């Protein structure tokens, strides 16, 4: 694509020398000859400071919100919005060639996405998932860095899905991505809201702003599927017309999709999916009440996409286990649950479910990420202390914060420091301590990192896998 044709996509006519565009990027280190450099002013990085350097590296145009060079400079009101549309155009508008389903919410996005893919693929559709685990086209998973990646990676990923002849892309849409206009150039066939809890308040500033940013998915979606049992549903309903809004529920009546006769046991869950046009018997090996909501959202979304209720019922028993999501490891020494739970509500959900499944003690190993929402740390400490028999507080991606400061924040939520609360900064040693304390009937919950295979300390990413670590200890 040439520069002039690309800029026309965002309504810009220019007299810059025309050339083939090599890339569209917002990172100075990725600029090369022919690149379009988009200057974005973020919290820790301002692309406007690198305009001259971009020209020296051969940029064909600089997109900015204030003049940064004397030539090849296009000044716009909002470069974040422009970046989304420029990347979409550069990769030949891949979103127009896919049916994209966007899933937002505090917890359950990844699991719901993979459950939905299972239902769609069982019905014959080829699907890819883009989210926390990376870009997954069923043949391989490419790490993308964020739940919803930056615009260049996002649209390149979608372009690859088109080349792979995918019909659907199921995308996890983070609140930051919505706030930062990363998905503005997309039209979602269906938007799904799982639930709303306290998360990323360091970025959004308040729960009200967090919800408001989540609500942006409504304006980008043809239809919405909302959790009628969530405390913040009214916020979404206020911006969602009745014609495009559908609701699912495990508690409320008068929802479009309802789970009735729910049974939760140590072997799985089952319920009747009730719709206005029929029912389906849902059963699977997933555990916990939260799994009812994940499967219900996925089944309802599949039905909206045209999958027959009979096919949903037939394929529910084979729903896949998701790496790092309530992943149970059974061993003669003890039981282990590895889960991504990194919010107070998610941690409570997992612990309550473990209490129903296992007869022994619960030993919880967890920490909180550095340079992230501090307000949830004492809440997670309180939840762990209340619902565990033993708590071991440790490190979890401390980044540029002091590990002891993070641990102290967590401890502040534990009103009475008991003898069953331990602190061990070294995550491997914390897991070893848990294994040494556990008996055969006990369960160790290792929470917060799930599928991740790294620890971020300072600016360094070090290999570390909860699963591999604990398996080595148990063998």
Q: How is residue 145 annotated by DSSP?
A: S
Sorting pLDDT into bands at 50, 70 and 90, what band is 203? confident
| pLDDT reading at 25 higher than 90 | yes
Residue with tokens 């199921």: 170
**CA–CA separation, 56 and 53 (whole Å):** 5
| pLDDT reading at 416 higher than 80 | no
Q: Structural domain boundaries of the chain?
A: 3-90, 94-318, 327-474
- pTM (2 d.p.): 0.94
Return the sign of the alpha-carbon dihedral for residues 456, 176, 295, 375: positive
Which two structure tokens, joined as six digits, stand for 205?
């500033």
Q: What is the crossing angle of helices 376-387 and 344-357, to 10°? A: 10
What is the per-residue pLDDT for 417? 65
Cα angle for residues 240, 245, 247 (degrees, 5° grid): 125
pLDDT tens for 42-65 read: 888 899 999 999 999 999 999 999
pLDDT tens for 337-374 read: 999 999 999 999 999 999 999 999 999 999 999 999 99
The CA radius of gyration of the chain, in Å to the nearest whole number, is 23
* Percent share of the chain, pLDDT over 70: 99
**CA–CA separation, 408 and 393 (whole Å):** 10
> Any idea which of 47-56, 136-145, 166-175, 375-384 has the lowest mean pLDDT?
136-145
Sheet holding 245-249, edge to edge: 141-142, 134-136, 127-131, 168-172, 99-104, 190-193, 224-227, 245-249, 257-265, 268-275, 278-284
Q: Which CATH number fits domain 327-474: 3.30.70.1400, 3.40.50.1360, 3.60.15.10, 3.90.190.20?
A: 3.90.190.20
Sheet holding 73-75, edge to edge: 23-25, 35-38, 61-64, 73-75
What is the per-residue pLDDT for 32? 97
CB 411 within 8 A of CB 446: no
Residue with tokens 């029912």: 279
Centre a 10 Å sphere on the Cβ of residue 315 and count the other Cβ atoms it contains. 20
Q: Taking the C-alpha atoms of 369, 375, 379 and 385 in order, what is their torsion angle to the nearest 10 degrees?
A: 50
pLDDT tens for 442-472 read: 999 999 999 999 999 998 999 999 999 999 9
Q: List helix spans (H) across 91-135.
A: 109-122
* Percent share of the chain, pLDDT over 90: 90
Domain 94-318, CATH: 3.40.1190.10
Average pLDDT, whole number, for the chain?
A: 95
| pLDDT reading at 143 higher than 90 | no
**CA–CA separation, 157 and 141 (whole Å):** 11
Domain 3-90, CATH: 3.40.1390.10
280 or 14, greater pLDDT? 280
Strands (E), 235-376: 245-249, 257-265, 268-275, 278-284, 327-330, 335-339, 362-366
Centre a 10 Å sphere on the Cβ of residue 160 and count the other Cβ atoms it contains. 16
pLDDT tens for 97-106 read: 999 999 999 9
Helix or strand or coil: residue 154? helix
pLDDT tens for 254-265 read: 899 999 999 999
Strands (E), 323-402: 327-330, 335-339, 362-366, 390-393
What is the per-residue pLDDT for 9? 93
| pLDDT reading at 88 higher than 80 | yes
325 or 205, greater pLDDT? 325
**CA–CA separation, 69 and 53 (whole Å):** 10
**CA–CA separation, 121 and 124 (whole Å):** 5
């Amino acid at each position: 694509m040439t520069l002039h044709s690309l800029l026309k996509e965002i309504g810009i006519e220019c007299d810059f020398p025309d050339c083939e565009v090599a890339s569209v990027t917002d990172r100075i280190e990725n600029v090369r000859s022919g690149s379009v450099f988009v200057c974005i002013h973020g919290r820790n990085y301002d692309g406007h400071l690198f305009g001259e350097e971009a020209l020296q590296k051969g940029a064909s145009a600089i997109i900015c919100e204030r003049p940064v060079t004397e030539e090849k400079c296009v000044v716009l009101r909002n470069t974040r919005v422009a970046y989304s549309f420029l990347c979409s155009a550069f990769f030949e508008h891949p979103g127009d060639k896919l049916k994209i389903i966007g899933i937002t919410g505090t917890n359950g996005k990844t699991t719901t996405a993979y459950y939905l893919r299972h239902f769609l693929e069982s019905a014959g559709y080829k699907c890819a998932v883009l989210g926390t685990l990376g870009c997954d086209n069923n043949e391989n998973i490419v790490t993308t860095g964020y739940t919803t990646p930056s615009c260049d990676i996002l649209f390149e990923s979608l372009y690859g899905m088109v080349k792979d002849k995918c019909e659907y892309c199921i995308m996890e849409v983070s609140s930051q991505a919505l706030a930062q206009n990363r998905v503005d150039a997309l039209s979602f066939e269906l938007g799904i809201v799982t639930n709303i809890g306290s998360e990323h308040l360091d970025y959004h500033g308040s729960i009200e702003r967090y919800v408001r940013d989540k609500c942006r998915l409504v304006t980008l979606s043809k239809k919405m599927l909302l959790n009628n049992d969530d405390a913040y549903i009214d916020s979404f309903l206020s911006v969602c017309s009745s014609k495009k809004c559908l609701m699912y529920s495990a508690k409320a009546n008068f929802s479009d999709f309802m789970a009735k006769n729910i049974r939760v046991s140590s072997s799985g869950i089952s319920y009747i999916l009730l719709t206005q046009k029929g029912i389906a018997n849902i059963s699977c090996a997933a555990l916990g009440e939260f799994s009812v909501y994940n499967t219900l959202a996925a089944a309802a979304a599949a039905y909206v996409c045209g999958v027959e209720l009979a096919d949903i019922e037939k394929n529910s028993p084979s729903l896949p286990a998701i790496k790092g999501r309530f992943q149970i490891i059974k061993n003669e020494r003890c039981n282990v649950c590895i889960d991504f739970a990194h919010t107070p509500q998610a941690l409570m959900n997992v612990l309550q479910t473990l209490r129903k499944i296992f007869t022994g003690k619960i030993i919880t190993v967890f920490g909180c990420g550095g340079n992230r929402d501090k307000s949830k740390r004492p809440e997670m400490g309180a939840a762990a202390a209340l619902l565990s028999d033993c708590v071991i507080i440790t490190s979890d991606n401390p980044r540029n914060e002091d590990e002891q400061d993070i641990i102290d924040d967590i401890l502040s939520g534990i009103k009475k420091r008991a003898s069953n609360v331990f602190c061990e900064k070294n995550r491997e040693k914390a897991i070893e301590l848990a294994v040494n304390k556990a008996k055969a009937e006990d369960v160790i919950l290792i929470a917060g990192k799930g599928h991740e295979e790294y620890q971020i300390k300072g600016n360094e990413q070090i290999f570390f896998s909860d699963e591999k670590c604990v398996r080595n200890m148990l063998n």
